[in-house]
Amino acid sequence: MKGARAMKTIEIEPYDPEERTWSEPEPATSFRTIDGLPIYLCDKRDLVHACEGADIHPDVRVYWTLCGKDASNDLVYLAKDEAITCPLCQELARVANDP
C-alpha cells in the first residue's frame, strides 16, 4: 500500500485491583462557630436555627442547620447570644454542649 503508515503500539500496564489509582476525598471538618461566634439562620417562618459549616474546597464554604436544612451563605449570620427557636436545633445544640 502506497502512503500507508504503520500503526504505533502503546503499552498499557495491566489493571491491578489492589492498587489504588485514585484517592478518597478528605472529609471536610465541620464547625459551628466562626471567630468564636455561633452560626445561625432565620428561616421564612422566623424560626432561628443553629448552623454548622464546612470548607469543602479552598473557595467553597457550605452551611446547613442542625435539623438538616441547607442554609444559604447569604442568609447565615453570626451572633453572640441568639435564642434558637427551632425545637430540633435546640435539642441537638443542647446535646452537643452537654459534657
- Band of pLDDT at residue 33, cut at 50, 70 and 90: very high
Residue-wise DSSP of 2-19? TT--PPPP---PPP-TTS
pLDDT tops 90 at residue 6: no
Instruction: Give percent of the chain with pLDDT exceeding 70.
Output: 84
Contact between residue 48 and residue 86 where contact means Cβ atoms under 8 Å apart: yes
pLDDT of 94 over the 70 cut: yes
